[in-house]
Amino acid sequence: MQQPIHVEELKSREVFPGHHARFIHGDHMTIAYWRIDKGATVPEHSHPHEQVVNVLSGNYELTVAGKPLSLEAGMVVVVPGGVRHSGRAITDAALLDVFHPVREDYR
Amino acid sequence: MQQPIHVEELKSREVFPGHHARFIHGDHMTIAYWRIDKGATVPEHSHPHEQVVNVLSGNYELTVAGKPLSLEAGMVVVVPGGVRHSGRAITDAALLDVFHPVREDYR
């Protein structure tokens, strides 16, 4: 991939309804830039990948292992591999997620 | 660490002159939130960790394997493990770096 990468030039994918992602894959990590529509939800799920959620803007409710966390810009949550989690956008929101290992399912 | 993490409440460390970082360590990744003063530099160095540089604000020149890259908000650079790189803040800047594996030297 040509560097530097311009995130806005990457193709966006609607991975869950109202959850639009642009992905960057390294050798060991995947970066996901999310644009999320107010009210959109992600059903509870888990994956073996460690995930770190960084809130860039908006308000987002992330429920991790059954515990709801109300997030806004400047907040971060570490979701260990295998832990169930779900999400809901309280407002339009922008998140930056990082995963290890690479999300082969998102290539 | 209590979740969610409020980045601004983490202790800031001046890792290189004018390069102030707040670190979050997961099981497999380290997240670094940098506040960088205009004109500050990082000398050329390398580490075995893969690093993904995300520019949140400002202008920053990152030189990777001898090639200077002029960065601004919305740009990303993947620096593979072992590749030499250096940096210089053209303006005050905010970067979000992610590393795999964990930066034990930054704990």
Asked if A69 lies within 8 A of B4 by C-beta distance, the reply is yes
Give B16→chain A minimum CA distance, Å.
Answer: 23
Domains delineated in chain B: 7-106 (2.60.120.10)
ipTM of the assembly?
Answer: 0.96
Q: Which residues of chain B have pLDDT under 50?
A: none
Give A90→chain B minimum CA distance, Å.
Answer: 16
Give ∠ CA B7-A71-B91 in degrees, rounded to 5. Answer: 40
Asked if A100 lies within 8 A of B96 by C-beta distance, the reply is no
Q: What pLDDT score does A1 carry? A: 76
Q: What pLDDT score does B1 carry? A: 76
Q: Which of A45, A37, A35 is nearest to A103 (CA)?
A: A45
SS3 sequence, B40-67?
A: CEEEEECCCCEEEEEEEECEEEEEECCE
Q: Give mean pLDDT in consecutive 10-residue pieces for chain A, a chain of 107 residues.
A: 95 97 98 98 98 98 98 98 98 98 96
Please name the residue of chain B whose CA is at the shortest distance from the CA of residue A79: B26
